Amino acid sequence: MDLQILSELSNDASISVPRLSKKINVNSSVIYSRIKRLVKRKLIERFTIVVNDAELGYEVKALTGINMDSKKRDHIIEELFKIDGVREIAEVTGRFDILVTMYSKSLANMHKMVSEKIGRIDGIQSSESFIEMKSRTKAMPYMSTQDSD
């Protein structure tokens, strides 16, 4: 039942408890207590919204892979977060040290972010940017009954 609740809330966190209880055919008080327990157990970190960035004019999304001087890691991450449009920084394995997710209102603005702002941060050795052309997402299958080992 917890996996059903997680799945439904992942699709629509604004669903009311009464509507959710009808959808999965469980009493509202049970749903409410289960959700409270999922939050307490930290399986639900927070309830949030998904903003339509394109409708706000942020039509260009890029992932930028960065190689850096690891001694300057904290400074670099701090400077990256100062740049308007930088949304997420992930430390990764592979050919890059970090991946930066960025949004801008135009390709010219994205070019400026990469060349004039990221390129000037002390400790960044190289970068490579990937402009998102089209994106598709899939909800996590929380209702799965088997592990995929």
How far, in Å, are 14, 38, 70, 71, 80 from residue 75 at the CA level? 38, 36, 10, 9, 9
pLDDT by residue for the chain (149 residues), tens digit each?
899 999 889 888 899 999 999 999 999 999 999 999 999 999 999 988 888 888 899 999 999 999 999 999 999 999 999 999 999 999 999 999 999 999 999 999 999 999 999 999 999 999 999 999 998 888 777 765 444 44
Same topology between domain 2-40 and domain 54-131: no
- CATH class of the structural domain 2-40: mainly alpha
Residue with tokens 């050795």: 125
Task: Give me the residue spans of the domains in the chain.
Answer: 2-40, 54-131
Which CATH architecture group holds 54-131?
Answer: 2-Layer Sandwich (3.30)
Q: What is the pTM of this model?
A: 0.76
